[in-house]
Structure 1
Amino acid sequence: MKKIYLLLMATLLVVGCTLDREPETSLADPNFWKSEKDLRGACNRLYIDLPGFSHDKRSDELVGPNQDGVSSGNRSVPGTSGDWTDPYKKIAVCNNIITKGETVPVSEEARNRWMAEAYFFRAYHYFDLVKKYGDVPLILKVFGNTTDPDIKRARDPRETVIQQCYTDLEFALKWLPKIDALKSESDWGRVSQSAALGMIVRIGLYEGTHSKYHQTTGSDHKAHLKRAIDAAETMIYTEKKHDLYADFQKLFYFDGEGGQNKESVFVKIYGPNGAGTITHNNSRGLENTAAITRSMLDNFLYSDGLPREKSPLVKRPEVRLNDVLENRDPRMSMTVYAVGEEAYKGTYKPFKTDDQAHGYGYPIKKGFMLDQWATNSKETVDKMIIRYAEVLISYAEALYEYNGNISDQKLDETINYVRQRVGFNVKLTNAFVQSNNLDMLQEIRRERMVEFIDEGLHYDDIIRWKTAEEVLPKAVLGLLYNPEDTPVKENELGGRLTDANGYYKGEKLYDEGNIFVIEEGGSRNFDPKRDYLYPIPSYEIGTSGGNIKQNPYWGNEN
């Protein structure tokens, strides 16, 4: 399954200089673009450029040792930013392949099979830009010279860009192979029809809900949701190529790698295993850079299927840290460490940060492997970018947002099927929601939050749901403190605990005492008129000849 990356590296030694430079319409590389092998080799670069593991601290999900500028609202307009330039560099590679691929003397079928990969990745990177910036310049060609007016192109409406993403993905869907044709070692990890469908599900749900809650001008939110629904139904009921992996915990280990794992829809390959050819530092990052906040932990349901604010199983008052882990959705014990468990550097002891730098949040267990941690940032387990559980839960959410309701049958096929995988057999049904005075949409969203912790989805979710203005300005809370759980004395914590009634500096922060305050609410801000979009770097505005305007409330260029 890892052989693809040996081939990638070998190919890049040959064609890397061609793909790295600014794209051009004239073929200055006469010894390339002559065969199907060249097309495949050019596409290999697209996989190297694919983002890998990270621990996203932009939302209320994770917290790190230092305050995150996006999460806290403490950022300014940058001069330059890779958030803008990196996707455009990758889009330029896609455009180069699409343009020069037309000249390769091969059959239409052979050409389109490889150009479909470039179309897929172009849509992937444009979606990344739209999520951050909204309207962005839509560049679909290579530049022949520096006088081309599109070099200083103004921003196109986000709806125009998203429609182009759909067009690119429909081309990809037509010409990419089915995923079960990619199970050889040399092909596993390449994008498939499943990946194209999965991206349509992701984009359709994002734009549909974003349009609905932000009231985006010129966008039909139901049309986007319908695209997500149709693509999901094709995957679930027509193609039937995917299923959930049986073991949630091992899903993120080497056990879950390769074509035998039908949950994998779109994967970034690392390795070969043990060889360290292309690596990451996910396990080290779990130890050193991120921990789960108390607000995110509270999304896990109790074993009766009820949330913390309604379940009689909640232990009050909480005395020991492990009290919060009792009688919960089984995914909780697979996601965070309990006191006394073997963790990053031996037995987990809360607040002991000299050798466990996750700090005062809940330490992440999901995906941690000690043998990989020991490689010292040369980890090679693959990363799932889209997995089938996302398709199922996104389908449920899109159905509810589209229709205003969802049947018990659809809940069984989506939410309850995902719960069943971990042995959480309390079903979400319409009757359960009604009898317990719950909100169906919130319960669907809750399922998404707990299933995908530390998988890079939550920030995008609170942006599209327009809930960032509610959750981000609040104080960031972490662990419950009890001196019997940790060698750290209370006076060594800096006095950052809520009192017995959940107050801190006169402000009610929680319904329990002795909760650690990681970041005070006064240090955090979110301006709903400004912060749902990123600021455009000043360099891009200054070099556009006045064509590119700044996003609202980020400066004078509006």
Structure 2
Amino acid sequence: MKIAMRTYKILIALMLVSSLMISSCKKLDRLPETTLSDANFWNTETDLQNAANRLYEQLVGFSIDNRGDDNVNQSGLNQVSNGNRGVPGTSDDWSNPYKNIFTANNILEKGVKAQVTDAVKNRYFAEARFFRAYNYAALVEKYGDVPLILKTLATDAPELTAPRTERAKVIQAIYDDLDYAATWLPTRATLPALQYGRVTKSAAWALKARVALQEGTRQKFFGESGSAAHLQVAIDAATLVMGQGHTLFANYQGMFTHDGEGPTNTENIFVKLYGNTAALGLTHNTSRDLENGRIAPTRNLIRMFLYRDGLPAFNTDNTPSATKSPLFVNEKDEASYNTILDNRDPRITTLVFRAGEQSYQRPWVPGTSLGSRSAYAGKKGFNAADWTLNNGANVHKPLIRYAEVLLILAEAKFELNNAISDADLNATINVIRTRAGMTVKLTNAFVTANNLSMREEIRRERTVELSLEGFRYTDLLRWKIAETVLPKTLLGAKFNATEWVGTNASSLLLNSDGVLVVEDATKRTFTASKDYLYPVPLQEISLSGGNVKQNPNWN
């Protein structure tokens, strides 16, 4: 599969980068209507496809996310994670989505003149509306209320100084865009192999399910009304995806290597393409980032993995669980670096390298000298072939995969009714566990017999399955537990002088159990009255004439 997938010429090279990448009007970074001549463009299906290609090129793929408690960076403390950030003057978190939204709006307006059938035209309009929804979802997730702009703007347009639109209206606009997209996009089965990477009905429904779960659970745990409606939307959308013939890739680790690329892997629902398949020559550096400790898993994350008997030792908020697996070894009694990795959910073997296991350049020797501040060597997403080329990695990035859809369905069903049937667990959580090699299944009887919490176990499954994929921080926010989780100490590996060759204990901060302290709780905080939303960049407030207001308590 590796060779075949690399030869796909899927997204046609961009022909209009210069005409679509026009200068900013410096009003909320929403780009103005261009005066460039479009007389010779926007006429054919090829024109529409080339214009839509810009959306794929702008799409964020691999990125380093150290905002949660699950991983740390060699460069030091993450100021979002530890609560020490301030209000920025400008921020790509705000401006880049609006640039992408402009691209989508531009296609929707100018593509009307194309001399093609309505079906062809609407297919590319559907792509534009999918990406518009995708970017508004990113904005709402961080900022809450944001200005809703559904058209291109002239330099004197009054909307350039418009106030923020209430969150509910933006969410409805996202749903509307995704409903349109699902109507006109091709199905997974009918998408030509040479168009692999373009969005389908499955992608639209899966994104709708993701957004709806986000809104439904956020409203539920923040005590707002309306959560049930969003949770039902999540259930309905996820169920539609399940009818599209998707299956889990046989090899969990292979999902994140070249083995998992291409249309035959139907777990991939929405993917950022790299290398030749993107027809853009896009590359990344993820394998080197792992080697250099920029994505170093923490003990806080490892604690959340079940033992092979299906029982935990810690909860997903890093408190000790009421029931502990008899396989659990107290941290003060861990005999070696690998002890915490023994007898666990098999997915732990894909998360980090064990001491002595062949890793990046050699067998892994515990330590922090290579940059891993936790002394754990990140493995998930490491590709030996990609590692050989600095900034030249080209394995694709799954952005939405079928496993996430199953997890969305399980969580939404439970949160809607505060209960879930064994049949639903078997169709979702236990399918994922089977692929992972976990022989113990999650059932209501197992939860009751072992004094577990069904909510906790559903959250655990999500955290473990989607570990290091950029979900942890936002999950903590929507569950409203960030204020208790993020201020806690971040921990790393157990120090053992025999195994940590070349490391002097005096150079490390160790707790009373001999465990590496990556960041002490005294340096971490989370202010619930403000940190559940990002601060709006000062420039956006200024350029709106003060109509865009700052989020609470960030003044």
TM (norm. structure 1) is: 0.92
> Does the alignment pair 1:200 with 2:222?
no
Consecutive aligned runs of 4 or more in structure 1 exceeding 4 Å deviation: 1-7, 273-276
**For 2:61 and 2:9, how far apart are their aligned partners in 1?**
14
SS at match of 1:135: coil
**For 1:82 and 1:91, how far apart are their aligned partners in 2?**
13
> Does the alignment pair 1:86 with 2:96?
yes
**For 2:363 and 2:381, how far apart are their aligned partners in 1?**
17
> Does the alignment pair 1:37 with 2:43?
no
The letter for the 2-side match of 1:464 is: R
Percent identical residues: 47
The letter for the 1-side match of 2:183 is: K
Deviation of 1:514 (Å): 0.5
Deviation of 1:489 (Å): 3.9
The letter for the 1-side match of 2:525 is: N
Q: Which residue of 1 aligns with 2:386?
A: 372
- 1:510-549, Cα deviation, whole Å (9 max, x unpaired): xxx1111111111111000000000001111011112111
> Does the alignment pair 1:474 with 2:488?
yes
> Does the alignment pair 1:20 with 2:21?
yes
Q: Map 1:271-310 to 2 at 5 A.
A: 271-272=275-276, 277-288=281-292, 289-308=294-313, 309=321, 310=324
Contact 1:361 1:478 in 2 (8 A): yes
**For 2:136 and 2:298, how far apart are their aligned partners in 1?**
31
- 1:410-444, Cα deviation, whole Å (9 max, x unpaired): 11111111000121010111111111111100100
The letter for the 2-side match of 1:497 is: L
**For 2:468 and 2:436, how far apart are their aligned partners in 1?**
18
Q: Which residue of 2 aligns with 1:498?
A: 511
- 1:281-320, Cα deviation, whole Å (9 max, x unpaired): 1111111212111111000001110001411111241120
Deviation of 1:124 (Å): 0.1
SS at match of 2:60: coil
Contact 2:100 2:135 in 1 (8 A): yes
Q: Which residue of 2 aligns with 1:128?
A: 138
Match of 2:367 among 351, 361, 369: 351
SS at match of 2:378: coil
Q: Which residue of 2 aligns with 1:142?
A: 152
> Does the alignment pair 1:257 with 2:265?
no
Q: Map 1:147-226 to 2 at 5 A.
A: 147-185=156-194, 187-216=195-224, 220-226=226-232
Q: Which residue of 1 aligns with 2:87?
A: 77
> Does the alignment pair 1:431 with 2:445?
yes
TM (norm. structure 2) is: 0.93
SS at match of 1:69: coil
Relative to 1, partners in 2 of residues 1:23 and 1:103: Cα closer, same or farther, differing over 3 Å?
farther
**For 1:272 and 1:123, how far apart are their aligned partners in 2?**
27
SS at match of 2:377: coil
**For 1:83 and 1:130, how far apart are their aligned partners in 2?**
11
Deviation of 1:491 (Å): 3.5
- 1:228-273, Cα deviation, whole Å (9 max, x unpaired): 100111122xx23201011111121111100100101101111127
Relative to 1, partners in 2 of residues 1:4 and 1:211: Cα closer, same or farther, differing over 3 Å?
farther
Q: Which residue of 2 aligns with 1:510?
A: none
Q: Which residue of 2 aligns with 1:539?
A: 539
Deviation of 1:183 (Å): 4.0
- 1:42-97, Cα deviation, whole Å (9 max, x unpaired): 00000000001122100111111210010010110011111110000000000000
The letter for the 2-side match of 1:96 is: N
Relative to 1, partners in 2 of residues 1:547 and 1:528: Cα closer, same or farther, differing over 3 Å?
same
Deviation of 1:6 (Å): 7.2
> Does the alignment pair 1:269 with 2:273?
yes
**For 2:372 and 2:239, how far apart are their aligned partners in 1?**
40
Relative to 1, partners in 2 of residues 1:274 and 1:17: Cα closer, same or farther, differing over 3 Å?
closer
Relative to 1, partners in 2 of residues 1:526 and 1:264: Cα closer, same or farther, differing over 3 Å?
same
SS at match of 2:114: coil
Q: Map 1:94-113 to 2 at 5 A.
A: 94-113=104-123
Contact 1:2 1:270 in 2 (8 A): no
Contact 2:410 2:420 in 1 (8 A): yes
**For 1:486 and 1:276, how far apart are their aligned partners in 2?**
43
Contact 2:11 2:278 in 1 (8 A): no
Contact 1:300 1:332 in 2 (8 A): yes
Deviation of 1:351 (Å): 1.0
Contact 2:492 2:516 in 1 (8 A): yes
Deviation of 1:357 (Å): 2.0
Q: Which residue of 1 aligns with 2:28?
A: none
Contact 1:27 1:100 in 2 (8 A): no
The letter for the 1-side match of 2:311 is: L
Relative to 1, partners in 2 of residues 1:261 and 1:519: Cα closer, same or farther, differing over 3 Å?
same
SS at match of 1:396: helix
Q: Which residue of 2 aligns with 1:457?
A: 471
- 1:474-523, Cα deviation, whole Å (9 max, x unpaired): 111111111111113444424x1112xxxxxxxxxxxxx11111111111
Relative to 1, partners in 2 of residues 1:26 and 1:174: Cα closer, same or farther, differing over 3 Å?
farther
Q: Map 1:390-429 to 2 at 5 A.
A: 390-429=404-443
Contact 1:4 1:189 in 2 (8 A): no
Deviates more, 1:146-155 or 1:358-367: 358-367
Contact 1:63 1:361 in 2 (8 A): no
**Structure 2: tracts of 5 or more residues without a match:** 23-30, 314-320
> Does the alignment pair 1:548 with 2:536?
no
**For 2:341 and 2:102, how far apart are their aligned partners in 1?**
48
Q: Map 1:483-494 to 2 at 5 A.
A: 483-494=497-508
**For 2:278 and 2:123, how far apart are their aligned partners in 1?**
32
Deviates more, 1:485-494 or 1:322-331: 485-494
**For 2:445 and 2:341, how far apart are their aligned partners in 1?**
27
The letter for the 2-side match of 1:107 is: T
- 1:375-427, Cα deviation, whole Å (9 max, x unpaired): 11201111110000000011000000001100011111111110001210101
Aligned-residue RMSD, C-alpha = 1.7
**For 1:6 and 1:274, how far apart are their aligned partners in 2?**
6
Contact 1:331 1:422 in 2 (8 A): yes
The letter for the 1-side match of 2:262 is: G
Deviation of 1:108 (Å): 1.2
SS at match of 1:347: coil
Match of 1:234 among 240, 247, 260: 240
Q: Which residue of 2 aligns with 1:502?
A: none
Relative to 1, partners in 2 of residues 1:366 and 1:274: Cα closer, same or farther, differing over 3 Å?
same
Q: Which residue of 2 aligns with 1:313?
A: 327
SS at match of 2:550: coil
Deviation of 1:2 (Å): 5.2
Deviation of 1:213 (Å): 1.1
Deviates more, 1:169-178 or 1:99-108: 99-108
Match of 2:124 among 90, 96, 114: 114
**For 1:423 and 1:498, how far apart are their aligned partners in 2?**
34
Relative to 1, partners in 2 of residues 1:384 and 1:233: Cα closer, same or farther, differing over 3 Å?
same
SS at match of 1:68: coil
**For 1:446 and 1:174, how far apart are their aligned partners in 2?**
34
Q: How many residues align?
A: 530
**Structure 1: tracts of 5 or more residues without a match:** 500-512
**For 1:224 and 1:446, how far apart are their aligned partners in 2?**
22
**For 1:167 and 1:361, how far apart are their aligned partners in 2?**
46
